[in-house]
A and B are shown apart, each in its own frame.
Chain A
Amino acid sequence: MLEIKDLHAVIGGKEILRGVNLSVKPGEVHAIMGPNGSGKSTLSAVLAGHPAYSVTGGTVTFNGKNLLELSPEERSREGLFLSFQYPVEIPGVSMVNFMRTAVNEHRKYKNLPQLSAAEFLKLMRDKKNIVELDSKLANRSVNEGFSGGEKKRNEIFQMAMLEPSLSILDETDSGLDIDALRIVANGVNKLKRPDSATILITHYQRLLDYIVPDVVHILYKGRIVKTAGKELALTLEEKGYDWIKQEVGE
């Protein structure tokens, strides 16, 4: 589904990704862990097509298409979803308008008819329950005045609405108390499908207690330096990242 080969990317003249290789198949959950500044968030931003980063080398194939040639909105319509570490506030734009525009753009891309207002509101009601968001959500502006936990739940809600084939969750656990973490993780688990995949980007083992990964990668200095099963996360929790540094020869 996703095939990253020797990906290099820079921001402001500084090379952050220095040859990332990663292969994700349908149905899989991958966790990408690593110390601060290793390039985890850059990887998710580059995959989503953030204009601040430029790709200087490598290839990314997503569902058979050259991902790097697509605009950010096309990547979304192709089924790539990014749950933001810091969801952006858009004052004046109600969630209902925002989501309706997004859902209908996705449908247009797939040559499906637009949803009527009634159909859309029903869909929104159903999906809201997955992350236990309250019903006033529809009329509030996108993320405006949301608490940290609400913002993250809102990300998962949007994921539920758009039904992506690949979801990248960028530090979705950061800033969440234990109850919110459970709600978010349950939401993600409920949305898992055999034909969809998830990439979890996280510092901590904590999230992986709730969403169990098939594969754990360690990203360090812009490269994936170690790949193993879910037990790798536990080793990291126990030993920290120092041993990795030694292993790569520093």
Chain B
Amino acid sequence: MQNSILMVRMKNKSKDKQDKVLSGFTSGEYKYGFTTDIETDRVPLGLSEDVIKTISLKKKEPEWLLEFRLKAYHYWLTMKMPNWAKLDIPTIDFQAISYYAAPRKNAPKSLDEVDPELLNTFNKLGIPLHEQGHLAGIAVDAVMDSTSIKTTYKDELAKLGIIFCSISEAVQEHPDLVKKYLGSVVPYTNNFFAALNCAVFTDGSFAYIPKGVRCPMELSTYFRINASGTGQFERTLIVADDDSYVSYLEGCTAPMRDENQLHAAIVEIVAHDRSEVKYSTVQNWYPGDKNGNGGIYNFVTKRALCKGVDSKVFWTQVETGSAITWKYPSCILRGDNSVGEFYSVAVTNNYQQADTGTKMIHIGKNTRSRIVSKGISAGHSQNSYRGLVKMSENADFARNFSQCDSLLLGDKCGAHTFPSIDVHNQTAIVEHEASTSKINEDQLFYCNQRGISTEDAVGLIVNGFAKEVFNKLPMEFAVEAQKLLQISLEGTVG
């Protein structure tokens, strides 16, 4: 493969080589930075109608989907990259990215046919593709670069009428459902990265929970970027029919590379009458090294439509990775009495930048939303909360409560809060609370004096700060998230 060209060039990447070598060593904390040596099938660099047609052809897509992609592509061409976030985003050369990279030996019928290298990769990541082991009882869809490798527990779920598969497979097997819902929550016109995703998305997960069914296990998708010089543009669609329930987990990692790689995903959730969807993310993309070289650019659009009455959607996210995070999981509360909640812990260290938050759009009557955002900044990082709470004219007696807390470690980092509130209904109630605190030397000394090391003290304080959000995560994830937080912040104090 000759494609190891820097996909995105940093504006001022003038570090000398020795520096780079050194920093490569010092950023050894990232556990998932290995690469898998595997043959990859790619399309040439750049984006054009031809590239989109090639992708669509490779995936044997129906005509309507190609049209959908091309419409989005032409719209995207008319758009500019958004610059309103508090992020310093180097110029991204969209013609220097390969928009499709898939492990060549794929399309296995059973696990025995999966390339052992791929199995190894996911084993190393702690993601079992065998339906047993320590995460048994969680159905996994494993996505590497542009394709889904394997979905577990599919048959067992099918007995209940639950569809859980890669979105490519869903396009083939359940075209009516996909056609009905794809783009219904996030239209391609929504934003620059959403339009790009609609044009080039390659894989992701699809879940459909039929009427009255409570999904008996956690569904999860594990995203892995492996190939260099590529981006990952995945697409997830979850539909919860009337009176159904599902809890969904998403995890992500990538190798350590000194190039920046683009990840621009869309997640759409549709919640019908009285259904409940919990969506949890532990985002651990490679954050770049200590000097800010490399790392994933994470531009993600996540949105849920609480379409039916009494429907509920809960977003929980722990964001520790990525060089840049731009992400606002949102809820459109259309059904009367629908509920949207957002719990977030965002950690930034070294030169990471995060601009994340949520939007709660209240349309139905008696709709309720709750936002709990915890930002932790260390090193030279910048961490922003950005949120919108909108009470539309018909949202009688709608209520929102928002709480945004920031914790600073050291004095070279920044925490920022940009809440906006837009109220068009007299009976709606909106509450907002915010706080900023700092871990100081006296607190650490106090812990030291009781026999607690500085590292453990930071862990105690940070976990205490983020507890409210961790409590919302499924058990296995909460433990993982706590450990992750500690690793992300290693060496930040003292």
A residues neighboring B (CB under 8 Å): 48-52, 71-73, 75-77, 81-82, 84, 87-94, 97-99, 101-102, 105-106, 109, 141-142, 158, 162
Contacts and interface: CB of A to CB of B under 8 A. Distances in A.
Given A87-B446, A90-B443, A91-B437, A73 B453 contact: yes
Interface of B: 437, 441-443, 445-454, 456, 460-461, 464-465, 467
Contacts of A102: 447, 450-452
Interface centre among B441, B443, B449 (most CB of A within 10 A): B449
Contact of A49 (B448, B452, B464): B448
Given A50-B445, A51-B441, A84-B446, A94 B452 contact: no
B464 A90 contact: yes
A32 B254 CA distance: 59
B445 A72 contact: yes
20 contacts: A48-B445, A49-B449, A51-B445, A72-B449, A73-B454, A88-B443, A88-B446, A90-B443, A91-B464, A92-B461, A92-B464, A92-B465, A93-B460, A93-B464, A101-B460, A105-B451, A105-B456, A109-B451, A141-B464, A162-B451
Nearest to B464: A92
Contacts of A82: 449
Nearest to B466: A92
A162 B452 CA distance: 12
A162 to B, nearest CB: 7
B449 A90 contact: no
A87 to B, nearest CB: 7
Contacts of B451: 73, 76-77, 102, 105-106, 109, 162
Contacts of B461: 90, 92-93
Contacts, number: 76
A52, A82, A89, A98 interface centre (most CB from chain B within 10 Å): A98
B446 A76 contact: no
A92 B446 CA distance: 15
B448 A92 contact: no
Given A52-B441, A109-B451, 10 more contacts: A72-B449, A73-B451, A81-B449, A84-B446, A88-B442, A88-B446, A90-B443, A105-B452, A106-B451, A162-B450
Nearest to A97: B460
Contact of A98 (B450, B465, B467): B450
Contacts of A73: 448-449, 451-454
Contacts of A88: 442-443, 445-446
Nearest to A161: B450
A87 B447 CA distance: 11
A94 B464 CA distance: 8
Contacts of A49: 448-449
Given A91-B437, A92-B467, A48 B449 contact: yes
A98 to B, nearest CB: 7
A87 B442 CA distance: 9
Contact of B452 (A50, A75, A101): A101
Contacts of B446: 84, 87-88, 90, 142
A67 B465 CA distance: 34
A48 B448 CA distance: 9
A82 B446 CA distance: 9
A93 B465 CA distance: 8
A89 B443 CA distance: 7
Nearest to A48: B449
Contacts of A93: 460-461, 464
Contacts of A81: 449
A240 B465 CA distance: 48
Contacts of B467: 92
A75 B451 CA distance: 8
